[in-house]
Every structure is written in structure tokens, then in C-alpha cells.
Structure 1
Amino acid sequence: MQDLLQQTLSGTAPTDTHGTLPQLRWQWLDEGILELTPLAPVQHAVAISAGIHGNETAPVEIVNQLITELLQGARSLAVRLLVLLGNPPALRAGKRYLRCDLNRLFGGRWQQFENCPEAQRALRLEQALETFWQVGAHQETRWHLDLHTAIRGSYHTRFGVMPFSSRPWPDDFMQWLTAAGMEALVFHRAPGGTFTHYSCEHFQAASCTLELGKALPFGQNDLTQFEATRRALAALLSGETLPEISAAPRRYRVAQQITRNSERFQLHMSPETLNFTAFPQGTLLAEDGETRYFVQQAREYVLFPNPNVAPGLRAGLMLVEDNAHNAALSGER
């Protein structure tokens, strides 16, 4: 097998489902799920997922380029690697999802949607991740990078979303995110149904959802915008020195969540509102029947505004800045 993406889009398994190259073994585990293992012992296990939403293609193209280099022997492998193209049917259809939003179904939430194909896929992805880390050494370092693109444009072209965790984030993980060109990091303060929260909570992995630009069809992405991310991923996989770090990302934390609970929901933002748009205190953000959402802090920034989600799902997050951290960044410049 030479091209993970094309093999996945074909809807068929490769003729050979495993093989050994001079530096690594590879195994096709299931549709869009590939494991690569160095022949030499390593202490770092990395899971990279992309295509959890089928219309978010830039990360899929980036990951596929790197995997092709590994399979062709053009790049060495210094970590145990699990690659997961999350939602192959949605990738083939060019849609965010077919029935259910896959990135709301992890941590067993898939059990509420018996007839949804995304629910079955969430279970399969959970199983693949569990098996991958169970076979590793006890002292193995675990990272999970879930690559996405945002529906809307953003004042920060590249940013990371950190799942809720009571543990401190490893310094080398935070340094990697900076080297990967993240302009901002958003910190959740509550559990969620995302893939990264699942890996962080259940397997103590250092996990992050990387948002890279805006969702576009295959072939229409300007991958030069994400060159720092590609180089950082390449360095991680091959054990090379990280790219030079230019500026640390600004930090935000989630202040409140806007939830659509009924068909009466109205989001008082235009379709052109960018991620990280600021709103002053008192602004009416949304209403849903008798429920009103207002800006509660002196200034809050919107993230992922989407009035078209299914009832019960998140229609947006409101963020506040980590003033102490960002003030320190300003002082460094």
C-alpha cells in the first residue's frame, strides 16, 4: 500500500494488509486505520487522527503526505504511530458527517445512537486507540493529535483546543504545539464528547485538537499556511529537531457554552462572524425560547458559532483570555 488516503477513499482494503520495510512494520487494521511500528524499540507512542469531519480536508492531505513518505522509505520513524482517518464515508461524500457528529460521540456517548453509522465508527476508533496503547510499554509516552479545520474563518488561522484535564500539561507537548505554529490555545473546563477528551481522560494522553484553517474540498487547500504544522509533525515522527519557535500562542479558557435545545434557537451573529470575534459585556448572543445567553465577562470571544447543530448540541463557545499569560507574552515581545 502506497497511499493511505486513496486506499481509504476507494472503500476497499488493500491487497496486502501488512508489510515490513527496512525501518518499520505497517498494518492496515481497518478502513482508514493504519499502524506503523519502528523495528527498533522506542518510548513514544503517537496517535494522529484527521477526517473526523469529512469536509475538513487540509489535515487529511498533510497527514497523507507524511505517511506516504514513511511508506516509501523517504522518512525514518522514531515513534510507534497510529493513524486514524476518522469518518471515511463522510470523506468520500465531502460532508461534515452523514447522520451524527462523530466528534460528540466519544467516551461511550455513541451508545445513545444505535442506528447511526458514526456511532459504530466512534466505537471502532475507541477500540483502535485502546488496543494501540495497551500493547505499548508501561512507561511509554502517549500523545494524541486530532487534526481539524474550522467551519468559519478565524482571527487565529491555526489554534489548538485542549480537553479538560486535572493534570498539568507536559512541557515538551506545549513546546511542540508552539513549534507547530499554533497562534492560540483554548482550554476546556468541563468534560466533553470529543476524541481528544476521550484519549486524555481514559488513557492519560497529552491530547489536543488542532484547528488548521477553514474547511475546503480536497485539492483546494493552501497547505503553505500550515507548513509550520507539517514540519513539526515530520520532526515528531522522525525524532528530528523541532522547527524554530517564533512566538508562543495566546491562551483562552472557556467561559460558557451556548447550547441549542430546540427549534426555536436563534444565534444573534452573522454567518460571517469569525472565530475569536470579541463581544462586550451584556451583548445578547443567542436565545432559545425563554433561555437567553449574554456576554457575562467584560469581554468574551466566540468560538465555533453554528446555529445549525442538532438540538442538544453545542452551538458555540464563549472564551475569556488568560490575562496573566497573555500579558507575559506581550512583555516578551
Structure 2
Amino acid sequence: MQDFLQQTLSGTAPDILCGETPFLRWQWHDHGILQLEPKKEPQQALVISAGIHGNETAPVEMLNALICALLRGDIELQLSVLAILGNPSALRAKKRYLQYDINRLFGGLWRDIESCDEVIRVLSLERAIENFRIPLYKKQQPPWHLDLHTSIRDSWHTCFGMLPLNSLPWPEDFMNWLTTAGLEALVFHTAPGGTFTHYSCAHFNFVSCTLELGKALPFGENDLTQFSVAQQALTALLSGMPLPIVTGSPRRYHVVQQITRLSNQFQLHINAQTRNFTVFPQGALLAEDGEKRYVVQKEREYVLFPNSNIALGLRAGLILVEEDTQTDALSKIV
């Protein structure tokens, strides 16, 4: 197998399901699920996923470039790696999803909908995570899960991370890596969710983060130089080489409200040009759904992922506060 992405998009398994290079052994588990094991004893394990949404192509191209470099021997692998392209059907169709957003279905939430290809895919991804844990008990560090995405909207922070609800302290080396990956902001969830990273963290104690890298664009239209720092940090992580040197640290936000579309009366009072991390003043009405009103409670709150084009019961946006409330030049009052 020479190209992970093209093999996945073909809808067929490779002629040979496992093999080795001078530095690693690889095994094809399912469409878009490939395990790589270094020939040296690994000291850490990593799940790296992309393409959970089929229209978010920049991380898919980035992940494929890394996997192809490992298979060619350009990078000497030091970790146990499970590489995942999340939704091959949506990637082929060039759509965010076909029937259901699979990043709202993990952890048993798939039970609430009728069976379809995307429900079956969620079950396959959950099994892949669970099975990948089997050899990890010998490792000295908890496994990491990095799920690579892009945003539908432009953002005041081009690259940022979303950390799931976690009762344990975040490891220092993990937080340091997120900084070296060039993330401009970190958003901390304060409630459980149906995302892939919440599933791996809550069910199997993975140290997990969703990385949002730029804006969703079709294959071939991405400027991957925007994410060169993240690419370098991933390469260093996989190869055991020194991490890039960066200055500064990400701004930190935490979620204080979730906007949910409860009925067909839902109205989002945020226009299509509003960027992620736009700040709103106290009292601003962000959305309403019948008698339910979503209003800014504190002096300054930020909006993330506003989207009215979602199914009933799903998230239509997040409202954030910043841990450091100093005024930033990026903040725009609307």
C-alpha cells in the first residue's frame, strides 16, 4: 500500500493487508483504519484521526502525507500509531456527512437514531479504539488521541484545540505539545458530548484533543503552509525528534453555555459572516427557540461554531468565556 488516502477512497482493501518497512510494521484493519507499529519498543501510543467530517480536507491531506512518509521510511516511527480516516463515504461524496454527523454519535448516542452506514461506522471506530488499548498496558504513558478537523466558519484563531470534559489533570507534556503545534487557543468543555475525543477520553482514559486547523475547503484548495507548525509538531511526535520551539502560549476559554436547536422555531441571531471567537457584550441575544432565549450572561462572552443548519436536538453553537479576560486586538464587538 503506497497511499493511505487513495486506498481508503477506493472503497476496497489493499491486496496485501499487512506488511513491513525497515522501521515499522503496518496492518490494515478496515477502510481508513491503519495500525503502525515501530520495530523498536514504543514508549507511547497515539490515535490520530481526520476526516470525521468529509468536507474537512486539510487535516486529511496532512495526515495522509505523514502516513505516506512513514511507509516510505522518510520518518522513523517511534510510537504505536492508529491512523484513522473517519468517514470514507462522506469523503468520497465531498460532504460533511451523508445522513448523520458521526461526531455527535459516539458513546452510545448512535442508539437514538435508525441504523445506517454512519451508525455502523461509529461502531467500527469505537471498536478500533477499544482494540487499540489491548497492548497499551505495558506503556509508561497514557495514550493520546488527536482528532484533526477544520471549521465551517473563519476564525479569529486560525488553529485551536477543543479539550473534552476530563476529571483528571491534563498531563504537562500533552499541554506543552499543543502549544508547540501552534494552537492559538484552547477551549475546555464543561459537559459530556458525543464527539470522538470525548469518547476516547471518557471511556478509555485517552489524553484527547480535537484540533481545529483552518476552514473547510475542497481537496486541492488547501494552503497547508498555514499549518506547517502543526505538521512539524506531529512529525516530531511520531519520530521522537525535538519539538519545534515556539513563543507564547494559547489563550484559554471554557464553555459556559451550549446553544441547542430544540424545535423548528429556532432562530440564530448571528450572521453568516461572524467569525468563531467573536466577542459579544452582556445582554446580547444570540439565539431563541420558542420561549428559550440564549443571552450573554457575563460582560464579555465569545461564540464558537454558530450554525443553524443542523438537525433538531443538536448543537447550534457554544458560548465561551476567556480565563484571561484581558482585551485582545482580535476581539470584535458586534
- 1:193 aligns with 194
Distance 1:113 1:44 in 2: 36
Moved more, 316-325 or 48-57: 316-325
Q: Deviations over 1:190-227 (max 9, x none)?
A: 11100000111111111000000000000000000000
SS of 1:58's equivalent? helix
1:124 is the counterpart of 2:124: yes
- 1:96 aligns with 96
Instruction: Tell me, yes or no, if the aligned pair for 1:251 and 1:325 is still in contact at 8 Å.
Output: no
Distance 1:78 1:87 in 2: 27
1:240 is the counterpart of 2:236: no
Distance 1:3 1:247 in 2: 36
Instruction: Tell me, yes or no, if the aligned pair for 1:48 and 1:145 is still in contact at 8 Å.
Output: yes
- 2:154 aligns with 153
- 1:136 aligns with 136
Distance 1:148 1:140 in 2: 28
**Amino acid in the other structure paired with 1:14:** P
- C-alpha spacing 1:77/1:325, structure 2 compared with 1 (3 Å): farther
TM-score between the two structures when normalised by the length of structure 1: 0.96
Distance 1:165 1:136 in 2: 20
Q: Deviations over 1:269-314 (max 9, x none)?
A: 1111100000000001111111111001111000000001100000
Q: Deviations over 1:118-172 (max 9, x none)?
A: 1111110010011011222344420000000000000000000000001110000
Distance 2:232 2:105 in 1: 31
- 1:229 aligns with 230
SS of 1:29's equivalent? strand
> Shift of residue 23 of structure 1?
1.2
SS of 1:310's equivalent? coil
TM-score between the two structures when normalised by the length of structure 2: 0.96
Instruction: Tell me, yes or no, if the aligned pair for 1:3 and 1:68 is still in contact at 8 Å.
Output: yes
- 5 Å-filtered alignment, 1:158-237, equals 158-237=159-238
Q: Which runs of 5+ in 1 are unaligned?
A: 328-333
- 1:254 aligns with 255
> Shift of residue 326 of structure 1?
9.6
Distance 1:312 1:272 in 2: 24
Distance 2:188 2:215 in 1: 21
> Shift of residue 46 of structure 1?
0.2
SS of 1:125's equivalent? helix
Instruction: Tell me, yes or no, if the aligned pair for 1:110 and 1:120 is still in contact at 8 Å.
Output: no
**Amino acid in the other structure paired with 1:166:** S
- 1:12 aligns with 12
> Shift of residue 324 of structure 1?
7.3
SS of 1:60's equivalent? helix
**Amino acid in the other structure paired with 1:44:** Q
- Poorly superposed stretches of 4+, deviation over 6 Å: 324-327
Moved more, 42-51 or 116-125: 116-125
- 1:320 aligns with 321
SS of 1:91's equivalent? helix
Distance 1:132 1:301 in 2: 37
Distance 1:291 1:112 in 2: 24
- 1:331 aligns with none
**Amino acid in the other structure paired with 1:62:** M
SS of 1:136's equivalent? helix
The alignment's C-alpha RMSD in Å is 1.3
SS of 1:323's equivalent? coil
- 2:307 aligns with 306
Distance 1:265 1:112 in 2: 21
- C-alpha spacing 1:140/1:125, structure 2 compared with 1 (3 Å): farther
Q: Deviations over 1:20-66 (max 9, x none)?
A: 11111000100000000011111200000000000000000001001
> Shift of residue 244 of structure 1?
0.7
**Amino acid in the other structure paired with 1:202:** H
Instruction: Tell me, yes or no, if the aligned pair for 1:43 and 1:137 is still in contact at 8 Å.
Output: no
Distance 1:268 1:229 in 2: 34
> Shift of residue 325 of structure 1?
9.8
Instruction: Tell me, yes or no, if the aligned pair for 2:251 and 2:324 is still in contact at 8 Å.
Output: no
SS of 1:13's equivalent? coil
- 1:60 aligns with 60
- 2:42 aligns with 42
Instruction: Tell me, yes or no, if the aligned pair for 2:255 and 2:321 is still in contact at 8 Å.
Output: yes
Instruction: Tell me, yes or no, if the aligned pair for 1:45 and 1:140 is still in contact at 8 Å.
Output: no
